[in-house]
């Protein structure tokens, strides 16, 4: 019981992250009862302590939030507000001790959204709240990309405390697009910017006024539909369509999934150091692949794609050693998917993370000023901001809106279907061209 008492210690923040690709469903994208997804502490309380503890921070991310013509047009306000109200009501209704929460902030870009909540008893410590967004599509379009939230949680003694940075992302799809997913991640690192960290509760770092990357933080959480696939070599006995049934059967076994994890693109590339440098992950193979399911089915994979762990949660903290990339001082209490949600071809994922105790000896600069603790990274990795990243993101946002308006017109022409609208437009242009030619021939006569 001593171990349980140590884990449940209130001076270690408990952070819950949750992610769901809702398949462009808008308000129909999530059920009204979210207990299976957003109240995991009820399921793990038996090993946390005799008295279950609610998370201090809850971060909920969505991808493919609503239909493309609406998301590109920036018409996500009502959906986000509805999700906010539903999430807040659900986490409070199912909190183990009837705890209350407040929204720290929310941010959305096209179809990617992030909402972050904190216990009311902790809310007075929240400071320096910032949001950021960036697109990873062509010309920084937001069909793929990321949104971020950063805030400082001041020390209970009035000190600087620590910063938490949450990034929700949607990366390029399809098994063959591995290199583009890596490029997406690097673009996010280089363009998802935040203001410099403070050196005192009322002042900012004197040495620089430059923006900072997602890595300039005490704790980093990166999650979403990252779209990395299970990529079996041709020599593997489960490779190819002829062995699909055998692959699906193998996924029912945790030991078989653990063997297959070596062919997960994200795992392989992270080991190479090409992506998610410095980030750690829990045992994702302990739950079944989260994509691609038949909509309406609890446990039936679509024949159109190889089942894959596309939906993931990664993390790291300032005290993690870059020399031991597989170890973390964050305790991963729970990491799982929720099969019962059937309105999407993805299954949502949730992770419950216990952060390390903040050091009683604050970090200091060379000048002796107090500093917020920040992540330690490998010596050969230095995240760099992309030149004119803000301008590029703004241009991407303008193009998003233009594309959204065009798609909206086509959707209107198609009575709700963009593809039918395109067909109607092409047909209309053909009729118009034919009429003009006919009119010209008649006038010549």
| CATH code where residue 44 lies | 3.60.10.10
Residue length of the chain: 445
| Res 197 pLDDT > 50 | yes
Q: Tens digits of per-residue pLDDT, 333-375?
A: 999 999 999 999 999 999 999 999 876 555 555 555 568 999 9
Please give the residue range of the domain that contains residue 439: 414-444
Q: How confident is the model at residue 269 (pLDDT cuts 50, 70, 90)?
A: very high
| Token duo for residue 155 | 């020390």
Q: Residue 385 has what DSSP assignment?
A: P
**Any domain includes 105:** yes
**Any domain includes 254:** no
Answer yes or no: do 63 and 131 share one domain.
yes
**Any domain includes 69:** yes
Looking at residue 52, what is its pLDDT?
A: 76
**Any domain includes 255:** no
**Any domain includes 395:** no
| The total number of structural domains that make up the chain | 2
Give me the residue label for tokens 């590109």: 72
Answer yes or no: do 381 and 418 share one domain.
no
Q: How confident is the model at residue 142 (pLDDT cuts 50, 70, 90)?
A: very high
State in Å, rounded, how far the first CA of the chain is from the last one. Answer: 99
Task: For the chain, give the mean pLDDT.
Answer: 86
Answer yes or no: do 354 and 426 share one domain.
no
Q: Tens digits of per-residue pLDDT, 98-136?
A: 899 999 999 999 999 999 999 999 999 999 999 999 999
What is d(CA 218, CA 376) in angstroms, rounded to the nearest whole number?
9
> Whose CA is closest to 354, among 4, 8, 46, 103?
8
Q: What predicted TM-score, i.e. pTM, was given to this entire model?
A: 0.89
**Any domain includes 339:** yes
Structure-derived torsion over alpha carbons of residues 263, 268, 270, 275, reported in degrees to the nearest 10: -100
| Res 417 pLDDT > 70 | no
Main-chain dihedrals φ then ψ at residue 104, nearest 5 degrees: -75, -55
Answer yes or no: do 289 and 431 share one domain.
no
Answer yes or no: do 272 and 307 share one domain.
yes
Answer yes or no: do 77 and 145 share one domain.
yes
List beta partners, residue 221. 166, 315
The residue ranges of DSSP E strands in 226-326, in sequence order, are: 280-281, 311-317
Answer yes or no: do 299 and 191 share one domain.
yes
Helix axes 389-413, 418-444, angle to 10 degrees: 70
Answer yes or no: do 57 and 185 share one domain.
yes
Answer yes or no: do 41 and 75 share one domain.
yes
Answer yes or no: do 292 and 430 share one domain.
no
| Token duo for residue 80 | 């986000």
Answer yes or no: do 366 and 217 share one domain.
yes
What is d(CA 427, CA 421) in angstroms, rounded to the nearest whole number?
10
Answer yes or no: do 146 and 274 share one domain.
yes
**Any domain includes 158:** yes
**Any domain includes 238:** no
Residue 221 host element (H or E): strand 219-225
- Whether residue 280 contacts residue 246, with contact meaning beta carbons closer than 8 Å, is answered with no
50 three-state secondary structure: coil
């Amino acid at each position: 019981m001593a171990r349980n008492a140590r884990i449940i210690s209130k001076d270690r923040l408990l952070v819950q992250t949750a992610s769901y690709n809702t398949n462009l469903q808008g308000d129909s994208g999530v059920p009204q009862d979210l207990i299976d997804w957003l109240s995991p502490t009820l399921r793990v309380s038996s090993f946390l302590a005799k008295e279950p503890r609610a998370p201090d921070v809850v971060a909920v991310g969505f991808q493919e939030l609503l239909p493309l013509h609406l998301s590109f047009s920036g018409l996500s306000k009502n959906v986000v507000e509805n999700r906010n109200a539903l999430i807040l009501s659900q986490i409070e209704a199912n909190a183990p001790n009837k705890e209350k929460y407040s929204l720290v902030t929310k941010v959305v870009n096209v179809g990617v959204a992030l909402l972050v909540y904190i216990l009311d008893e902790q809310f007075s410590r929240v400071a320096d709240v910032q949001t950021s967004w960036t697109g990873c599509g062509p010309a920084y379009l937001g069909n793929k990309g990321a949104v971020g939230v950063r805030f400082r949680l001041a020390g209970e003694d009035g000190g600087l405390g620590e910063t938490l940075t949450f990034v929700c992302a949607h990366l390029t799809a399809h098994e063959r697009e591995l290199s583009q997913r890596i490029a997406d991640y690097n673009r996010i690192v280089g363009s998802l910017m935040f203001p410099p960290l403070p050196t005192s509760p009322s002042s900012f770092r004197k040495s620089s006024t430059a923006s900072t990357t997602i890595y300039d933080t005490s704790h980093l959480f990166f999650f979403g539909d990252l779209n990395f696939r299970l990529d079996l070599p041709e020599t593997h006995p489960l490779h190819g369509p002829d062995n699909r049934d055998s692959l699906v059967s193998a996924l029912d076994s945790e030991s078989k999934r653990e063997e297959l994890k070596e062919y997960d693109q994200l795992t392989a590339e992270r080991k190479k150091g090409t992506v998610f440098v410095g980030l750690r992950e829990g045992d994702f193979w302990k739950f079944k692949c989260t994509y691609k399911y038949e909509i309406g089915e609890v446990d039936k994979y679509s024949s159109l794609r190889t089942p894959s762990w596309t939906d993931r949660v990664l993390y790291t903290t300032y005290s993690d050693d870059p020399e031991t990339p597989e170890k973390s001082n964050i305790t991963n209490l729970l990491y799982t998917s929720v099969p019962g949600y059937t309105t999407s071809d993805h299954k949502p994922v949730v992770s419950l993370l216990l952060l390390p105790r903040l050091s009683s000896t604050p970090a200091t600069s060379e000048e002796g000023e107090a500093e917020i603790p920040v992540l330690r990274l490998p010596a050969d990795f230095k995240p760099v901001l992309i030149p004119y990243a803000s301008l590029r993101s703004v241009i991407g946002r303008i193009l998003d809106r233009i594309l959204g308006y065009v798609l909206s017109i086509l959707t209107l022409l198609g009575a709700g279907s963009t593809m039918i609208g395109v067909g109607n437009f092409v047909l209309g242009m053909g009729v118009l061209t034919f009429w003009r030619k006919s009119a010209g021939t008649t006038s010549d006569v």
